[in-house]
């Protein structure tokens, strides 16, 4: 008998932000992200491996057992990822006695740009907010830019986002929200007519629609498609869904 696929309702428990934690079924090749309360839904079978990952937490793996499939619920506890830096000592070690430390401090006279024959700015040093305002107001990218200065610093933002994973997280969030919106539209429009023609216990209809959403071709088959095309997709999935129900009853 084939393994049964179910929609697993999950809950993440952790000490910090619970939103946008990536949940991937590496066996079934499907993934989702958590909401603000750390909740998620994902399609699984027994013995599938789930991977929970985030910049804030240590990556965690969990194998789905038969009891989890039967209960259709899972609770996962994540541990914070601690990035500890090695101790760095700059200059002489301080004693903690401010008066004594000041006496032993060695200072150098600031550079006088006029003495070395080069122009230099000698006015008031800008605050961080002033620098940010200056960067924002003076950023004017052009085709002839040399790649340095304020324009270049602004161009580093996408690179930083990519390195930290923020861009990937935002893309995943957009994809997830697009799927949720599409499923809601199908549920409130097409599905009403669909279930008039194709019989399914009302208590199972929502579960069936989540089953459809978990299909890897869901967006390709349904997004910006005609009602007829969506009908055909739902019809194919309903046959598969009913086979799974029959296998479960056996």
* 26 assigned to some structural domain: yes
- Once rounded to an integer, what is the mean pLDDT over residues 72-81? 92
What pLDDT does residue 90 have?
Answer: 56
Are 200 and 244 a contacting pair, CB within 8 Å?
Answer: no
3-state secondary structure of 6: strand
Could you tell me which residue, 172 or 105, shows the higher pLDDT?
172
* 187 assigned to some structural domain: yes
d(C-alpha 179, C-alpha 52), whole Å:
20
* 117 assigned to some structural domain: no
From 54, 77, 100, the end of a domain falls on 77
Number of domains in the chain: 2
Residue 59 sits in a domain whose CATH number is 2.60.40.10
From 59, 77, 95, the end of a domain falls on 77
Residue in this structure with the two tokens 């909401």, named with its chain if needed: 35
Confidence grade of residue 142 (pLDDT, cut at 50, 70, 90): very low
What pLDDT does residue 103 have?
Answer: 62
For 26, the domain range is 6-77
Q: What average pLDDT does the structure give for the chain?
A: 77
- Once rounded to an integer, what is the mean pLDDT over residues 28-57? 91
Could you tell me which residue, 136 or 32, shows the higher pLDDT?
32
d(C-alpha 77, C-alpha 66), whole Å:
20
d(C-alpha 6, C-alpha 97), whole Å:
66
Confidence grade of residue 7 (pLDDT, cut at 50, 70, 90): very high
Residue 237 has pLDDT above 80, yes or no: yes
- Once rounded to an integer, what is the mean pLDDT over residues 189-207? 87
* 125 assigned to some structural domain: no
Is the whole-model pTM more than 0.75? no
- Once rounded to an integer, what is the mean pLDDT over residues 131-138? 53
* 123 assigned to some structural domain: no
From 60, 77, 94, the end of a domain falls on 77
Could you tell me which residue, 192 or 77, shows the higher pLDDT?
77
Residue 30 has pLDDT above 90, yes or no: no
* 244 assigned to some structural domain: yes
Confidence grade of residue 138 (pLDDT, cut at 50, 70, 90): low
Report pLDDT digits (tens) over 220-229. Answer: 999 988 888 9
Residue 93 has pLDDT above 70, yes or no: no
* 140 assigned to some structural domain: no
CB-side neighbour CA atoms (13 Å) of 176 = 21
* 71 assigned to some structural domain: yes
Residues with Cβ within 8 Å of 146's Cβ and at least 6 positions away in sequence, in order, are none
């Amino acid at each position: 008998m084939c393994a049964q696929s179910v929609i697993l309702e999950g809950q993440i428990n952790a000490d910090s932000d619970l939103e946008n934690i990536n949940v991937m079924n590496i066996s079934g090749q499907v993934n989702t992200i958590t909401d603000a309360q750390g909740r998620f839904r994902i399609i699984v079978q027994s013995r599938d491996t789930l991977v929970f990952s985030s910049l804030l937490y240590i990556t965690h793996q969990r194998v789905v057992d038969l009891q989890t499939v039967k209960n259709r619920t899972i609770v996962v506890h994540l541990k914070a990822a601690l990035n500890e830096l090695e101790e760095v000592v700059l200059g002489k070690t301080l004693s903690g006695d401010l008066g004594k430390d000041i006496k032993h401090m060695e200072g150098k006279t600031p550079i006088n740009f006029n003495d070395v024959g080069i122009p230099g700015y000698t006015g008031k040093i800008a605050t961080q907010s002033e620098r940010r305002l200056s960067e924002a107001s003076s950023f004017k990218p052009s085709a002839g830019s040399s790649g340095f200065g304020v324009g270049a610093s602004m161009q580093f933002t996408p690179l930083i986002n990519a390195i930290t994973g923020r861009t990937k997280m935002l893309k995943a969030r957009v994809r997830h929200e697009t799927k949720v919106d599409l499923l809601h539209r199908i549920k409130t429009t097409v599905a009403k007519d669909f279930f008039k023609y194709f019989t399914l216990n009302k208590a199972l209809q929502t579960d069936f629609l989540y089953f459809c959403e978990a299909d890897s071709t869901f967006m390709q088959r349904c997004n910006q498609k005609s009602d007829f095309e969506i009908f055909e997709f739902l019809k194919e999935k309903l046959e598969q869904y009913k086979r799974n129900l029959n296998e479960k009853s056996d």
